[in-house]
Structure 1
Amino acid sequence: MSISDPSKRVELPSSMEGKTVLVAGAAGFVPSTVSEFYLNLGAKVIGLDNFVTGSRSNIEILNKYENFEFHECNIYESLPDFSGVKIDYILSLASPASPIDFKVLPLEIMRVNSEGTMHLLELAKDKGARFLEASTSEVYGDPEIHPQREDYVGHVNPIGPRACYDEAKRFAEAMTMSYHTKYGVDTRIIRIFNTYGPRMRPNDGRVIPNFINQAMKGEDLTVYGDGLQTRSFCYVTDLVNAIHNVLFSHDHTPFNIGNPDEYTILDAAKYIIEALGSTSKIVHLELPKDDPKRRRPVLDKLQAVSDYRPQVSFKDGIAKTALYFKEIAQKN
């Protein structure tokens, strides 16, 4: 049966009341936004995090919801005792994901995506819960085809500076599919492309927060290489909607999620300077090893089964993200 067959189309629930969603990594930028999305749909949300990169302020936001429960834990060591607790959905979103983390936390990244993923999958197996693995466009490495489709197997350096994340996520996908084929766990896999928005760490190290913070301070914007490498930037609320659609899809194989609009890094830098009315200049630094030259998702697979379309323009998303960073700066 074709993936575009009408019987395979996503049917989104109007309410999640009576359902329990466990979110691993709930203190993080994307996971906390996902958690709040499901809380607003009426679900009970159980959050897990060890605050290695997550923010306690994000948990403070979620704690305002009556249906939110939080456990501080290291999921690659052990999970809390959920005996007698009904869990309907498990979202595996716990992993540092910034290049600055790759240097500082390589073993933690590998463990959370291997042992941590296995612990969550075991819980899904025990509870009969649907499991969603948040993988990444990094599984494509520095791609030799462009744009990237889900059937592309990638071009990854297994011992390079990004390998702790790239290979750990490839392993997490393999682990997820193995639990589906061996034990019948109801699994989903998403490959997240570059995402930005409020709740990002200001010192995240990724291109959008770097550029916004530098532009707000009037500092030079640091562009690596000639700046002609490309990225596709997805605003966080659009990403959450994509996650929701995949969760309620009928396909166990990976879905690309993100925004297909493609920008060169240099154009993004110029746009942010203009949008923020900054006097910043652009300086060029050496391109890091294995830095991907081009990234853009093909979203045909998701769009064939759902109504998903990104709604937030780069202009509006940058304005909202800059406002968030300004508010943080004023508090500190």
Structure 2
Amino acid sequence: MSQRPLRKRVMVTGGAGFLGSHLCDRLIAAGNDVLCVDNYFTGRKDNISHLLLNPRFEAMRHDITFPLYVEVDEIYNLACPASPVHYQYDPVQTTKTSVIGAINVLGLAKRTGAKVFQASTSEVYGDPEVHPQTEDYRGNVNPLGIRACYDEGKRSAETLFFDYFRQHKVKIKVARIFNTYGPRMHPNDGRVVSNFIVQALRGENITLYGDGMQTRAFCFVDDLVEGFIRLMATDGDVTGPVNLGNPYEITVHELATRVIRLTESSSEIVYRPLPQDDPMQRCPDISLAKKLLEWEPKVELDAGLGATIAYFRRLLDDQSRA
């Protein structure tokens, strides 16, 4: 009887996106065959162009709201626009991507016996009344608000993952991702790190919403991907959800001043009204990740911002020469 090759066949949905492309890099470097699936709504071919000639890498244009028939050993489901600008552009499609996309990857995992990873989000906690957020906190989400397409879509996806685990014994891993930044962020995604850096590099005013005293905790992309890999490698009785993020909390105003300092920009800070349902605090309790995965972030904020600024500087320079 022939043996299946030891090299794993790994599918990454949303693989041409910010997080997905970095994950593809890590999986390829580890010697896996990687199928990158993306509809390029927010993902970009530039993020994976360096992998296209690698014989162990394959890119497929596909919308995960439609079934996909492939043979895989592991699935990382990262398919869904993750910034308010993008997920509010077509909120119905955002919900469909989270819910129908989850049904499709879980059905594939059920058929193939693959282990399947769900990239969930800290947005399942909404505007939290518990701080920092632990995995057993059930959240404070407005199901009727403009962010609900993403928040409730991801909550429903978690429900589906755990029901497939209980009913069909599908091997699941669920991570709740907190604010992440780094090279390959979309320059127009509306998130504070990319917004501030692009505005600073262009010498424009840096826009803060509200009084700037709302807090966030920022995790560098390399640290996050390491958490993905470690969670996927855990035993079958570890399902998650597991918070993955940086517990070092700063105000949005402090982030803006750091970006101005690191870019040596002449930008000034201006204030605008706070958007609906924008959380005032967001910070993970990562005790579970430390215990189960022996994981915690390593990259200091200034170092991560420096690498991200260098990426956006190159990107803007290329755009100006085009």
Q: TM-score range by the shorter chain?
A: over 0.9
C-alpha displacement at 1:64, in angstroms?
3.1
C-alpha displacement at 1:108, in angstroms?
1.5
- For 1:108, the equivalent position in structure 2 comes to 93
C-alpha displacement at 1:217, in angstroms?
1.1
C-alpha displacement at 1:88, in angstroms?
1.2
Aligned pair partner of 1:258 in 239, 245, 259: 245
What pairs up with 1:108-127 in 2 under 5 angstroms? 108-127=93-112
Normalising by structure 2, we get a TM-score of 0.95
Is 1:144 aligned with 2:129? yes
**Could you tell me how far apart the structure 1 residues matched to 2:87 and 2:115 are?**
29
Question: 8 Å contact 1:17–1:44 — kept in the other structure?
Answer: no
Question: 8 Å contact 1:180–1:187 — kept in the other structure?
Answer: yes
Aligned pair partner of 1:214 in 199, 203, 214: 199
Aligned pair partner of 1:295 in 282, 300, 305: 282
Question: 8 Å contact 2:35–2:57 — kept in the other structure?
Answer: yes
Question: 8 Å contact 2:16–2:48 — kept in the other structure?
Answer: yes
- For 1:70, the equivalent position in structure 2 comes to 59
Is 1:224 aligned with 2:213? no
* Residue-by-residue CA offset, 1:166-213 (whole Å, 9 max, x unaligned): 000000000000100000001010000000000111111100000001
C-alpha displacement at 1:17, in angstroms?
5.6
Is 1:245 aligned with 2:230? yes
- For 1:11, the equivalent position in structure 2 comes to none
**Could you tell me how far apart the structure 2 residues matched to 1:105 and 1:61 are?**
30
* Residue-by-residue CA offset, 1:4-26 (whole Å, 9 max, x unaligned): xxxxxxxxxxxx96111110011
**Could you tell me how far apart the structure 1 residues matched to 2:44 and 2:116 are?**
24
Residue type of the alignment partner of 2:161: T
Aligned pair partner of 2:21 in 25, 32, 52: 32
**Could you tell me how far apart the structure 2 residues matched to 1:102 and 1:204 are?**
10
Structure 1 segments (4+ residues) deviating >3 Å: none
- For 1:283, the equivalent position in structure 2 comes to 270
**Could you tell me how far apart the structure 2 residues matched to 1:309 and 1:141 are?**
23
- For 2:306, the equivalent position in structure 1 comes to 319
Normalising by structure 1, we get a TM-score of 0.92
Residue type of the alignment partner of 1:321: T
- For 1:96, the equivalent position in structure 2 comes to 81
- For 1:20, the equivalent position in structure 2 comes to 9
Q: 3-state DSSP class of the match of 1:260?
A: coil
Instruction: Count the aligned residue pairs.
Output: 313
C-alpha displacement at 1:252, in angstroms?
1.1
- RMSD, matched Cα: 1.1
Question: 8 Å contact 2:88–2:149 — kept in the other structure?
Answer: no
Question: 8 Å contact 1:92–1:131 — kept in the other structure?
Answer: yes
What pairs up with 1:38-49 in 2 under 5 angstroms? 38-49=27-38
C-alpha displacement at 1:62, in angstroms?
2.2
Question: 5+ unaligned residues in a row in structure 2: which ranges?
Answer: none
* Residue-by-residue CA offset, 1:64-99 (whole Å, 9 max, x unaligned): 3220012111110231x32xx3x1111110000101
**Could you tell me how far apart the structure 2 residues matched to 1:204 and 1:99 are?**
8
Question: 8 Å contact 2:227–2:293 — kept in the other structure?
Answer: no
Residue type of the alignment partner of 1:49: D
Question: 5+ unaligned residues in a row in structure 1: which ranges?
Answer: 1-15
**Could you tell me how far apart the structure 2 residues matched to 1:31 and 1:127 are?**
22
